[in-house]
């Protein structure tokens, strides 16, 4: 029987840092995106697609999506941990959340690199 | 010492209708709700992005959907949720750095978050949706 107190031992520190790091990445991307749609909105297909065809925007958008999905994982997991008390249901919801987010990541890559 | 702190009985009031949240508390719960709603609508948003990016035909369908009055209202709501989450998130990053932790600054910064996020929503909403 290990008898220790789960306080002050950095539990969750890594996720706390990643939540903030991904937030900063998304915040910077949001500013870039606002400038971009300020000049070229989604008015015609060709100009809109060309926005994401350049290697910088494609990379930045990819980085945004990966940050978004990791950030969402931490946030939604926190919501399950706060409100869902039965362990089995909580685990099920966490697995479902992780599964759809991994799926979304594949989907986002496909959208960005299909053309 | 730590054990005593853990076992200590604290008073609890979870009668939601009688709780009057201060402004930073309202900001906080909208931060959580907006994050959850944005997560739930990710498939719709990814589908919209995919339609806008795939071919002229899917782009036409994207335009049609995005110009539907009901969808425009939903998108405007989502833009507000995104902008609120964005501005409140920046406020939390500053709080992490111990900027503005006293009560007066916390209330002031909450007001700024609401003002800026609503202004950004109107600007971006008009630019993108109309």
Q: Is the pLDDT of residue A98 over 80?
A: yes
Select from B36, B39, B46 the Cβ nearest to the Cβ of A108. B46
Measured between alpha carbons, how far is B43 from B40 in angstroms, rounded to an integer? 7
> Is A89 a domain residue?
yes
**pLDDT (tens digit, 9 = 90+) per residue, B76-94?**
999 999 999 999 999 999 9
Contact status of A111 with chain B (Cβ, < 8 Å): yes
> Is A83 a domain residue?
yes
Q: Global pTM?
A: 0.89
Select from B3, B39, B52 the Cβ nearest to the Cβ of A42. B52
Contact status of B26 with chain A (Cβ, < 8 Å): no
pLDDT band at A33 (very low <50, low <70, confident <90, very high): very high
pLDDT confidence of residue B52: 92
Structural domain boundaries, residue A61: 14-113
Asked if B98 contacts B45 with a C-beta cutoff of 8 angstroms, the reply is no
Domain ranges of chain B: 24-129
Q: Is the pLDDT of residue B55 over 90?
A: yes
pLDDT confidence of residue B130: 73
**pLDDT (tens digit, 9 = 90+) per residue, A42-88?**
778 999 999 999 999 999 999 999 999 999 999 999 999 999 999 99
Closest CA to A77 of A93, A64, A65: A93
pLDDT confidence of residue B1: 47
**pLDDT (tens digit, 9 = 90+) per residue, B32-52?**
999 999 999 999 999 999 999
Alpha-carbon Rg for chain B, nearest whole angstrom, is 20
Measured between alpha carbons, how far is B109 from B91 in angstroms, rounded to an integer? 7
CA distance B107 to chain A (A): 22
CA distance B103 to chain A (A): 23
Asked if B82 contacts B34 with a C-beta cutoff of 8 angstroms, the reply is yes
pLDDT confidence of residue A2: 67
Measured between alpha carbons, how far is B49 from B53 in angstroms, rounded to an integer? 6
> Is A3 a domain residue?
no
Q: What is the ipTM of this complex?
A: 0.89
> Is A7 a domain residue?
no
CA distance A59 to chain B (A): 16
Residues of A in contact with B32 (CB under 8 A): 75, 79
**pLDDT (tens digit, 9 = 90+) per residue, B6-33?**
667 788 878 888 888 899 999 999 999 9
> Is A26 a domain residue?
yes
Domain total of chain A = 1
CB contact (8 A) between residue A27 and residue B2 = no
Q: Is the pLDDT of residue A8 over 80?
A: no
Q: What is the CATH number of the domain that holds A82?
A: 1.20.1300.10
Measured between alpha carbons, how far is B14 from B19 in angstroms, rounded to an integer? 8
> Is A2 a domain residue?
no
pLDDT confidence of residue B14: 80
> Is A37 a domain residue?
yes
Q: Is the pLDDT of residue B70 over 50?
A: yes
CATH number of B24-129: 1.20.1300.10
């Amino acid at each position: 029987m290990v008898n220790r107190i789960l306080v002050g031992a950095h539990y969750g520190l890594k996720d706390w840092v990643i939540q903030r790091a991904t937030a900063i990445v998304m915040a910077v991307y949001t500013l870039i995106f606002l400038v971009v749609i300020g000049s070229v909105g989604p008015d015609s297909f060709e100009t809109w697609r060309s926005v994401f065809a350049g290697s910088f925007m494609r990379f930045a958008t990819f980085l945004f999506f990966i940050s978004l999905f990791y950030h969402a994982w931490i946030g939604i997991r926190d919501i399950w941990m706060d409100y869902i008390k039965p362990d089995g249901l909580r685990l099920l919801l966490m697995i479902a959340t992780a599964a759809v987010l991994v799926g979304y990541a594949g989907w986002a890559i496909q959208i960005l690199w299909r053309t | 010492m730590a054990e005593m702190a853990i076992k200590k009985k604290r008073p609890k009031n979870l009668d939601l209708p009688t709780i009057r949240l201060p402004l930073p508390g309202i900001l906080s719960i909208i931060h959580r709700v907006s994050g959850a709603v944005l997560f739930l609508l990710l498939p719709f948003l990814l589908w919209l992005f995919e339609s806008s990016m795939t071919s002229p035909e899917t782009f036409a369908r994207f335009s049609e959907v995005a110009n539907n009055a009901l969808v425009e209202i939903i998108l405007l709501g989502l833009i507000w949720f995104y902008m609120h989450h964005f501005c409140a998130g920046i406020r939390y990053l500053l709080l992490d750095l111990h900027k503005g932790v006293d009560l007066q600054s916390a209330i002031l910064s909450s007001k700024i978050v609401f003002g800026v996020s609503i202004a950004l929503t109107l600007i971006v909403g008009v630019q993108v949706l109309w």
